[in-house]
Structure 1
Amino acid sequence: MTTPPRVVLATNNAKKLAELRRVVGGDVEVLALADVDPYPEPAETERSFEGNALLKARACVAATGLPALADDSGLEVDVLNGMPGVRSARWAGVHGDDRANLELLLRQVDDVPAGERGARFVCALALVLPDGTEHVERRVWEGRLATAPVGENGFGYDPVFLPEGAGGSTAAELEPAEKDAVSHRGQAVRAMASTLSTVLGAGGDRR
């Protein structure tokens, strides 16, 4: 029986891993970083989502010898000239402090009228193969900022993001399946899923 080709998702985020596995199903075996030997993860020093995603995927390929996927995502706010952008996860100074990041953002836009609170989530998802081939998918999720956090689902800035077409609900009020269907990351993962099946299924690494 032929085993499915394997790809490593270069993240320690369990929610991102579960999402990718849901979308690709059994066509591709998605490994976590915990499934491979540890290696030094690169600092996210690029100025674009695409650059950081490629940086992480390239490092994973070099360390594991397997095809690698990596994403970089964040929130762009119109009145902040597109910031926090690639610094979204460390906007308040400490990487991954969701509460501090969210509270700082709300203070920065506290006096901004509802009609000028446009924002979008951006996700760049990169696939790098051992032969050096690279693929990148970039997707956006348009919306605006709420004035206070609402909802318990999701993570990051989800409680203050009001997606277009969600009837006034924040991203953190959506059920996981609802969010997957429309989010920036869900769009990018679905776009990359066909590439994964085509590229890896047609002679990709099957070790």
Structure 2
Amino acid sequence: MQLVFATNNQNKLKEVQTLIPSHIKLLSLKDIGCLEDIPETKSTIEGNAIQKAEYIKTNYGYDCFADDTGLEVKALNGDPGVFSARYAGEQRNAEDNMNKLLNELSNKEDRDAQFKTVIALIINNKLQTFTGICNGEITKTEQGKKGFGYDPVFKPKGYNLTFAEMDLSLKNSIGHRGKAITKLVDFLNS
């Protein structure tokens, strides 16, 4: 079996490759010659994941899955949410996004947040979605050098480390994307 993972994010690709069983050949967008930006114009995380998967199926014909992830901060009414990647602007700079987030929370006591990933799978022309959520809190400063995105400022509930301080296997076992991928893999194996 082969599936396209509809992402240009090499960090996500690496993270997901460690979770997908070896009998599933994972193709990247580059592998199928998709070099354009895939539209993400929906107002929800789930909507964007579905839109990306449908784009690949419609334009390239491959069975595929796509994810969309958002960081939802309680004190910011769920923001940055669907705009997590471009929270500080269209340049999609992780450092700028974290700085804006920490600034927005500078006078807030409640730092509760959750990462939410939705994976949309299109296989045999049928759509399935899988959701993974990881609850935690936003730290006051960046901690750690591993990971990507908001990992240096997100501390999962029950841990004294941010995602950026964890090794990949621990992050995958407790994290939002890992939980969603596990549901995807269980579905593919059933």
How many Å apart are 1:189 and its aligned residue? 0.5
C-alpha contact (below 8 Å) 1:161/1:171 kept by paired residues: yes
Q: How many pairs align?
A: 190
Aligned residue number for residue 126 of structure 1: 120
| Structure (1 or 2) with the greater helix fraction | 1
Q: Secondary structure at the match of 1:33?
A: coil
Distance change (3 Å), C-alpha of 1:6 and 1:18: same
How many Å apart are 1:107 and its aligned residue? 0.5
Q: TM-score, normalised by structure 2?
A: 0.95
How large is the RMSD of aligned CA atoms in angstroms?
1.3
Aligned residue number for residue 184 of structure 1: 176
C-alpha contact (below 8 Å) 2:15/2:168 kept by paired residues: no
The answer to whether residue 54 in structure 2 is matched with residue 81 in structure 1 is: no
- Cα distance in 2 between the residues matched to 1:103 and 1:40: 29
Aligned residue number for residue 175 of structure 1: 167
Gaps in structure 2 of 5+ consecutive residues: none
C-alpha contact (below 8 Å) 1:68/1:129 kept by paired residues: yes
- Cα distance in 1 between the residues matched to 2:67 and 2:91: 16
How many Å apart are 1:45 and its aligned residue? 1.0
C-alpha contact (below 8 Å) 2:86/2:97 kept by paired residues: yes
- Cα distance in 2 between the residues matched to 1:156 and 1:20: 15
How many Å apart are 1:48 and its aligned residue? 1.0
- Share of identical aligned residues, percent? 35
Q: Secondary structure at the match of 1:147?
A: coil
Distance change (3 Å), C-alpha of 1:47 and 1:56: same
Gaps in structure 1 of 5+ consecutive residues: 199-207
- Cα distance in 2 between the residues matched to 1:161 and 1:38: 32
C-alpha contact (below 8 Å) 2:139/2:155 kept by paired residues: yes
- Cα distance in 2 between the residues matched to 1:28 and 1:58: 20
How many Å apart are 1:14 and its aligned residue? 1.6
- Cα distance in 2 between the residues matched to 1:172 and 1:189: 20
Aligned residue number for residue 16 of structure 1: 12
Q: TM-score, normalised by structure 1?
A: 0.88
Aligned residue number for residue 112 of structure 1: 108
- Cα distance in 1 between the residues matched to 2:127 and 2:42: 17
- Cα distance in 1 between the residues matched to 2:91 and 2:83: 9
Deviations 1:162-184 (A, max 9, x none): 11111x21111111111011000
- Cα distance in 2 between the residues matched to 1:25 and 1:191: 13
How many Å apart are 1:27 and its aligned residue? 2.0
Q: Secondary structure at the match of 1:35?
A: coil
Aligned residue number for residue 205 of structure 1: none
Deviations 1:39-80 (A, max 9, x none): 644321111111000000000011221101100001000010
C-alpha contact (below 8 Å) 2:11/2:148 kept by paired residues: no
- Cα distance in 1 between the residues matched to 2:139 and 2:158: 14
How many Å apart are 1:25 and its aligned residue? 2.2
